[in-house]
Structure 1
């Protein structure tokens, strides 16, 4: 399976459909964005990128 990673630090990572961990992190990011909490939004993006690299390959 090929993981679609967005290039560049300004682009949010794309969760893998059907992955519960990806979904949870994407929901966390969306909730932070809705609260205008950029720090929490960035944290969720970092965690999602880390998960994508570790759980879904390069």
Structure 2
């Protein structure tokens, strides 16, 4: 928290946009990590799950 306060103060002094608050992008990071792990699993030959699998199935079977 102290590092955030120092970064925010420094950004304000230099006229830069404020830094995001701690925890502001946690869910986005988790989604990106999950997508990365699914991609690695697919490249390794393991079955894809979740959104990636659904997107692939929709591409392969558009009539369903």
TM-score strictly above 0.5: no
With CA pairs under 8 Å and 6+ residues apart, which has the higher RCO, 1 or 2? Answer: 1
The two structures have a TM-score, normalised by structure 2, of: 0.34
The two structures have a TM-score, normalised by structure 1, of: 0.37
Q: Looking at CA atoms only, which structure, 1 or 2, has the larger radius of gyration?
A: 2
